[in-house]
Chain A
Amino acid sequence: MNNRLPITEIWVYLSGSPLLALILTLTAYQIGFYLYQKSQRNPLANPVAIAVLVVATTLWLMDMPYDKYFEGAQFVHFLLGTATVSLAVPIYRGISGLKGRAFPLLLALLCGGATSIMSAVIIARFFSADPAIVGALMSKSVTAPIAMGVAERIGASPTLTAVFAVATGILGAILARFVLDGLKITAWWQRGFAIGVAAHGIGTSRAFSVHPEAGGYASLAMGLHGILGAVVIPLIAGYFTIH
């Protein structure tokens, strides 16, 4: 008879608990990951980008404010820190597999890391982007979980940083081949390391699908860039805000 009331009640109850946000987040990611695998791991079908699109559309359709969604989804968000600590494992594996290449790799990492920050800041300022955007661009080549922690410390938006990091990863995964072929870089370890420094996790996953040696070096580069970025970017950001 009166069917509408119970359904509304169930809805009100569900949307007040973290469960709804968690189901939404995980389902959206599941959809993204499924499409990513269906597309033969095409960087354009990035699972995070698809998941964000699905969650954002659902929130809009349900008329649910972002703050309320995040209240529930923060349980997933919290694990970022734990995932960051566990990056020590792939870094350790990468370091123990090095064959006397430590010097070129560290030098390349330093130069690549510096290029990533300086070029982003200079280009964005040239087009007169506002300081909030410039701040969020600084750590975009660092793996997203670390980049977001760094963003918090330098007073930039972790959200914008995460979005720029994902976009950088996608762009890097697509463009790396053309840049490296153009420069005639043929050694897999050099190609992999360059992708890992510039395009962190998304680039690394791309590198693994091309060649295992490239993937291993990309993963090492991503981890080392994460550590370097966390230590150095707050210092550089301080310099940029003073000058």
Chain B
Amino acid sequence: MIAGLVQILLWQGAGELVSHFAFPSIPGPVIGLMLLLGFLSVRGTIPQSMALVADSFSQHLGLLFVPAATGVILFLPQLRQHALAIMAALVGSVVLTIAVTALVLRATTRDPHE
């Protein structure tokens, strides 16, 4: 497990460096993700210890954004003021996104159950 964590941290470090010096508009961890994805495609398999770390992260990903999301208490007046706009945008956007994605998939596939 430690070996997997070390590898992931190294890819994160590489991503931060590339982001800082070459693509400042893309967050470092996302570049790290792309580099690791490239590495896995070349390697052909996922190292077991890395799979272990990745699976524990993805199972409890939500825990990691609790500290930042709690900051919502600082925005309550603003959220109340724009409550209608926010609800409309969130509901409208998620419904349209699901519909458009699904319709494009159906239109571009001949037999969906194949």
Q: Which residues of A contact B (CB under 8 A)?
A: 21, 25-26, 28-29, 32-33, 46-48, 51-52, 55-56, 59-60, 66, 69-70, 73-74, 76-77, 79-93, 95, 101, 103-105, 107-109, 111-112, 115-116, 119-121, 123-124, 126-130, 132-133, 137, 140-141, 143-146, 148-150, 152-153, 157-160, 162-164, 166-168, 171-172, 175-176, 179-180, 183, 185-187, 189-191, 193-195, 197-199, 201, 221, 226-227, 230-231, 234-235
Complex formed: what's the CA distance from A28 to B63 in Å?
9
Interchain Cβ contacts under 8 Å between A and B, 6 examples? A73-B70, A107-B108, A144-B61, A158-B68, A175-B94, A230-B30
Chain B residues with CB under 8 A of A77? 64-65, 67-68
Does B54 contact A89, Cβ atoms closer than 8 Å? yes
Residue of A nearest to B43 (CB): A92
Does A197 contact B101, Cβ atoms closer than 8 Å? yes
- A contact face: mostly helix, strand, loop, or mixed: helix
Q: What 5 pairs between A and B have smallest CB-CB spacing? A: A149-B27, A127-B85, A112-B101, A159-B71, A89-B54
Does A198 contact B104, Cβ atoms closer than 8 Å? no
Residue of B nearest to A80 (CB): B64
Does B32 contact A84, Cβ atoms closer than 8 Å? yes
Q: Does B100 contact A (CB under 8 A)?
A: yes
Does A82 contact B26, Cβ atoms closer than 8 Å? no
Count residues of B near A (Cβ-Cβ below 8 Å): 73
Does B26 contact A231, Cβ atoms closer than 8 Å? yes
Complex formed: what's the CA distance from A235 to B68 in Å?
24
Does B102 contact A183, Cβ atoms closer than 8 Å? yes
Q: Does B86 contact A (CB under 8 A)?
A: yes
Chain B residues with CB under 8 A of A32? 62
Chain B residues with CB under 8 A of A28? 66
Complex formed: what's the CA distance from A207 to B101 in Å?
15
Complex formed: what's the CA distance from A193 to B37 in Å?
20
Chain A residues with CB under 8 A of B65? 48, 77, 80, 144-145, 148, 162, 166
Q: Tell me the B61-114 residues at the A interface (CB within 8 Å).
A: 61-75, 78, 82, 84-86, 88-106, 108-109, 112-113
Q: Which residues of B contact A (CB under 8 A)?
A: 5, 8-9, 11-12, 15-16, 24-30, 32-34, 36-37, 40-41, 46, 50-51, 53-55, 57-58, 60-75, 78, 82, 84-86, 88-106, 108-109, 112-113
Does B66 contact A108, Cβ atoms closer than 8 Å? no
Does A201 contact B61, Cβ atoms closer than 8 Å? yes
Chain B residues with CB under 8 A of A88? 11, 33-34, 36-37, 40, 54
Does B46 contact A92, Cβ atoms closer than 8 Å? yes
Residue of B nearest to A130 (CB): B82
